Chain A
Amino acid sequence: MKHRTFFWFILPTLSAMVLFIALPIVSVFIQSLFVQHEQVLVVSESCGPFGCVEETQVDTEATAKLREERPLGQFNGLATYFDRSHLASAEIAEVWRTSTGLSSFIDGIMDLKFYKALVFTLTYTFVVTPLVLIFGLAVAVGVNNLPKAFRGVAIFISLLPFLVATIVGSMILSWMVDGEGIIGATLQNIFNDPSLSIKASTPLMWIMLMVYGVWHTLPFAFITFYAGLQTVPQDTLEAARVDGANKWQTMISVVVPHLMPLVSFVTLMLLMDNFRVFEPLVSFQAEAHAQSLSTFIVSDLREAGNPLYASAGATSMLTILGVVILLTPVLIRTWRDFNAKVH
């Protein structure tokens, strides 16, 4: 294909991606470097019968005008990145100085908003991802063992949790585990503790969110592995059986190695999607117990009246940095493979 033709064919999609994905990232970066204008203060002297008092007032008109003229705010450099609600360098140094041991240091860090969100996001990602891989493979093997007639139904049912909107799926689950919902009430009966409530306890909320994560993403791993199982070479399986391998040994030494490329693909997708966990926290109304980096950004943008663009921008850049770090190993491998193919 000629360069010219290629250009015209690719133009619409490329311009959509550049304008609405690449440029916004630049725009986020620029926003993160600025901070909102301080309010314009006017000092006036008001004199009454008991002498004169100096009054400081906010000149709303001038403030509004300034904000109108330069909506980005004033240049702040990287200061937002290191302030109290982000990397909090000063606070960390303080915690480091005053902490008496590892646990008090960790407690001190967990008091900081950004680190709390980061810890939750990472825990969620690294708990949900392996669980989904393991259970997804187990269910795939199980469905593959089913008689052919039942497989279609099994796949249909399995697809539901994955394809239903995250916010809707997590809302359905949150009603069920509510203190008055079926699962919540049953749990209260089993443990004989009427005050047991997932919405009131941080550890339970974390567990619930991760259970939801597994429920929601397991089908993706399952479907991919199930498709992979259809391509396992029958000869190799036969050979393993002739050599006396039992089912379990065949699974470990023949099937799993055959699925390995799929495992790395699914891991890549799961890492990307789990790291941006957002909707379940909205549906479970979990903000008191768990914040992820994404909900952190949204709460800044929703700040009534004046959205904190700088703060949201800084968190966004740090999130993108997190994604890059997570995906680097995979990208390096793709790059090596590509070079190996070329040379």
Chain B
Amino acid sequence: MIRRFFVGLLFFLLISCGKNEKPIVAFYYWKTIFKLSPAEKEVLRDNKVSKLYIRYFDIGLHPETQDPIPMSPIRFQENAANFDIVPVVFIQNKVMSLPRLNIDDLAQKTIRLVEEMNAKNKIAVEEIQIDCDWTLKSKDNYLRFIEQFKKLSKKKLSATIRLHQVKYFKKTKIPNVDSGVLMYYNMGTIANDSLNSIYSKKVAERYLKSLKKYPLHLDFALPIYSWAIHIREQKVIGLRSKLNVNELKKDANFEKIGTIFFKVKKSNYKNGVFYEENDLLKIEAISSEDLIEMGNDLDKNLVHAPREIIFYDLDEFNIKNYEKNIFKQVISCF
């Protein structure tokens, strides 16, 4: 009883802090095995991170039967109970685009699997997040799935929201969730051009104004990942994540041309990938300045302050690209 009182008091205090309350730092964890490196632990500790959004599994289609099936569920090799865990289920849009999708069945199976994973890993959760880049074609299925999921899971439900879904929400509709997370990345096509597909202020500006009109509470997800786009004969043939630019600079098989491109001078294997002579690697990354810019731009266009800033994604490789206090700097924009 007393404890509840204190919790209530704390809550009251939090609320009464009102506008000055800064959002908390949270992270997405998107790897298939949950095991934190010392550097990752340090970041979590330094930023007092208590909340992790962990990708539990994807839902895709079985290549032969076209039935929805879970893919690469995460395995825990480390105790996650110290954190508030929000399981995230990534649903491929093609699943939601199936014309005869059994929505009840899928919602039930998804909840059952999340619960099974929670039970087997001794994780208690209060919220579940669904991640799906739904389109006009898959809208109806997706919205019904969310309704059904919410009804059955009896948990707080959040969903990721893409920029276009904010701007055109009258067309794309708003899923019936408790809150949304605006993915402030994936702003272009993964293409053989000189633009950054992760973030572009120009592209973002086209959407920012719509934020004020969006009726659902939004927290923000900001990118800290980088990758290289592997291009052969003007065609994108793959994404190479966790590619160390400094290492590329030192590698005689690669030549830096321009600010973001590397050219393969001699065919070679690197990290298990074959690079053919004349292939191009286009590096896409997010600088500290970009992150601050995002924070400021978002703050200028807000109605309600976000409660959380979630960085995508928690990985030693990503963190090493930034100064230690970057997360605090971003939070202070709000």
Question: Does chain A bind chain B?
Answer: no
